[in-house]
Structure 1
Amino acid sequence: MDKTKAVENLDKVISKVEAARLRVSEHHIVKIIGISKYSTSEDVATLYSAGQRAFGENKVQDLKQKSIDLEELPLEWHFVGRLQKNKINNLIDLNPTLMQSLDSFELAQELDKKLEAKNKKMSCLLQINSAKEDSKTGVMPEEAIEVYKKILEECPNIKLKGVMSIGAHVDDRNIIKDSFMTTKNIFDELKIYGAKYCSMGMSSDFELAIACGSNMIRVGSTLFK
């Protein structure tokens, strides 16, 4: 991907995000995370030069490789994939800005234990399976608030910063919207516990997600095509 293409892609996403956020409120700020899982370190560097700063990976080894390749750049790395327990220590060593896919209380306990051993802390989002789809991980919506509070109380090395979800995997926009609203309502209830980020919306549905209150989107193909 050349610089011109990167600038063009980023500009397009930014103007769509701007229009969508302004429809919510001029005070509504949305953070863009570039999902670089199918892209090269060179592509990430090109997008960085176009102005993008935050990137997300869904495999620990890819995150490691890209952060080594690009260590000269002040990038903000997010982990967005399913974390296997045997990779927890590796992820802790990479020190991501935000781990977005904390998908169960069991994983939180395991992560907390290993953070404790390394004397480290990690900022995380609780992943909610708002569409209740078998293909997705995450806590069920009706348990989300209870699990969130339990992690806050019992996992002192995890700094919970909010919630993340993936929109329903269907064509019907109303069903997708419902899944986003489910997450947003949970997020609103968690604000008193310090929840700051409601991460939802990907390349195909981020405008709808922003309309439903998302303040962090995860876009890959639209930035890296």
Structure 2
Amino acid sequence: MDKKTATKNLDDVITKVEGARLRISEHHIVKIIGISKYSSIEDIKILYEAGQRAFGENKVQDLKTKSEELKDLPIEWHFVGTLQKNKINNLIDLNPTLIHSLDSLDLAIELNKKLEIKNKKLSALLQINSADEETKSGVSPKVAIETYKQIIEQCPNILLKGVMSIGAHTEDEKIIKESFKTTKKIYDELVPLGAKYCSMGMSSDFELAIACGSNMIRVGSTLFKD
């Protein structure tokens, strides 16, 4: 990918985000996370130069490799993949800006334990399986608010910043919209508890997600296409 393509890709995404955002309110700000899991270090660098600042990886090892290679750039790194317990220490050492995929109270307790040992704190989002799909991680919408409160009470070293979900895996826009609305409703109830981010929407559905209230999107293929 060359600089010209990267700039065009980013401009296209920003234009769509602006359109979707302004339909809600001019005060509605949307943060774009560039999902770089299939992309080279060179491509990340080019996109950074084009103006993209936040990037997300879904494997701890890839996050380590890429963040070390690009340590001269003040990139904001996010971890968006499923977190295995045996990788927790490695992830803590990388100090990501935000973990998007805290998908159970059990995982939160384990993460908190290791954070306490290292005397560190990390920001995270609670992942909600809003479409109730067996193939997806995340807590059930029915217990999401209760789980969020339990993490706040039991895991002082985790700074919960909101929620994340993946839209329903279907072509039916109505069902996708319902899954986003479910997450947004939960997010609204958690705002008094300090929730800042409602992370929903990927390359295929981010405009719909923003229409449903998302203020953080995770875009990969659209940003990194040649």
Alignment-derived partner of residue 32 in structure 1: 32
Task: Kindly report which structure 2 residues correspond to 1:122-133, keeping only aligned pairs within 5 A, or say none.
Answer: 122-133=122-133
Task: Kindly report which structure 2 residues correspond to 1:62-81, keeping only aligned pairs within 5 A, or say none.
Answer: 62-81=62-81
The Cα shift of 1:3 comes to: 0.3
* Paired letter, 1:174: K
* Paired letter, 2:221: S
- CA distance in 2 between partners of 1:193 and 1:8 (Å): 39
* Paired letter, 2:83: L
Alignment-derived partner of residue 169 in structure 1: 169
Matched residues, number? 225
The Cα shift of 1:17 comes to: 0.1
The Cα shift of 1:202 comes to: 0.1
The Cα shift of 1:174 comes to: 0.2
The Cα shift of 1:132 comes to: 0.4
* Paired letter, 1:147: T
The Cα shift of 1:140 comes to: 0.1
Alignment-derived partner of residue 136 in structure 2: 136
Aligned partner of residue 135 in structure 2, secondary structure: coil
**Residues 79-100 of structure 1: CA distance to partner in whole angstroms, max 9, x if unpaired?**
0000000000000000000000
- CA distance in 2 between partners of 1:41 and 1:95 (Å): 19
Aligned partner of residue 100 in structure 1, secondary structure: strand
* Paired letter, 2:124: C
Alignment-derived partner of residue 96 in structure 1: 96
Aligned partner of residue 29 in structure 2, secondary structure: coil
Runs of 4+ in 1 over 2 A off after TM superposition: none
- CA distance in 2 between partners of 1:41 and 1:90 (Å): 20
- CA distance in 1 between partners of 2:116 and 2:52 (Å): 33
The Cα shift of 1:164 comes to: 0.1
Alignment-derived partner of residue 42 in structure 2: 42
- CA distance in 1 between partners of 2:191 and 2:32 (Å): 21
- CA distance in 1 between partners of 2:144 and 2:55 (Å): 26
* Paired letter, 1:51: G
Aligned partner of residue 71 in structure 1, secondary structure: coil
What is the percent sequence identity of the aligned residues? 76
Alignment-derived partner of residue 85 in structure 1: 85
TM-score with structure 2 length normalisation?
A: 0.99
The Cα shift of 1:134 comes to: 0.6
The Cα shift of 1:22 comes to: 0.1
Task: Kindly report which structure 2 residues correspond to 1:1-225, keeping only aligned pairs within 5 A, or say none.
Answer: 1-225=1-225
Aligned partner of residue 89 in structure 1, secondary structure: helix
Q: Which runs of 5+ in 1 are unaligned?
A: none
- CA distance in 2 between partners of 1:150 and 1:170 (Å): 32
**Residues 98-139 of structure 1: CA distance to partner in whole angstroms, max 9, x if unpaired?**
000000000000000000000000000000000000110000
Q: Which runs of 5+ in 2 are unaligned?
A: none
The Cα shift of 1:216 comes to: 0.1
Q: Aligned-residue CA RMSD in angstroms?
A: 0.2
